[in-house]
């Protein structure tokens, strides 16, 4: 577990697929370890994430970079 409130990437992928289309921007104002962002970029969405914890931001940024290396996505 990367964050104490971390959610399932599959669960957020389902939500993102249902409520957005490729090219949309997904915003998570409490992004924590970036699960929503990882799911979003893997599905061809843009992502804006915000958090107040510098450690969480660092983890999220690392995960986003890894996700974009394995897909054609950009964030």
Token pair for 73? 């996505």
pLDDT digits 0-9 by tens, 16-71 = 999 999 999 999 999 999 999 999 999 999 999 999 999 999 999 999 899 888 76
CATH class in words for 9-69 = alpha beta
pLDDT of residue 72: 62
Helix (H, G, I), strand (E, B) or coil at 46: strand
Helix (H, G, I), strand (E, B) or coil at 24: coil
C-alpha torsion 29→70→13→2, nearest 10: -60
Assign 3-state DSSP to the chain and report helix, strand, coil percentages, each to 5.
45, 10, 45
Cα four-point dihedral sign 71, 16, 39, 37: positive
């Amino acid at each position: 577990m990367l964050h104490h409130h971390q959610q399932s990437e599959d669960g957020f992928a389902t939500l993102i697929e249902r409520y957005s289309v490729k090219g949309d921007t997904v915003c998570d104002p409490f992004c924590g370890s970036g699960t929503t962002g990882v799911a979003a970029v893997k599905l061809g969405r843009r992502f804006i994430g915000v958090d107040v914890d510098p450690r969480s931001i660092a983890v999220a940024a690392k995960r986003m970079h890894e996700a974009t290396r394995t897909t054609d996505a950009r964030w």
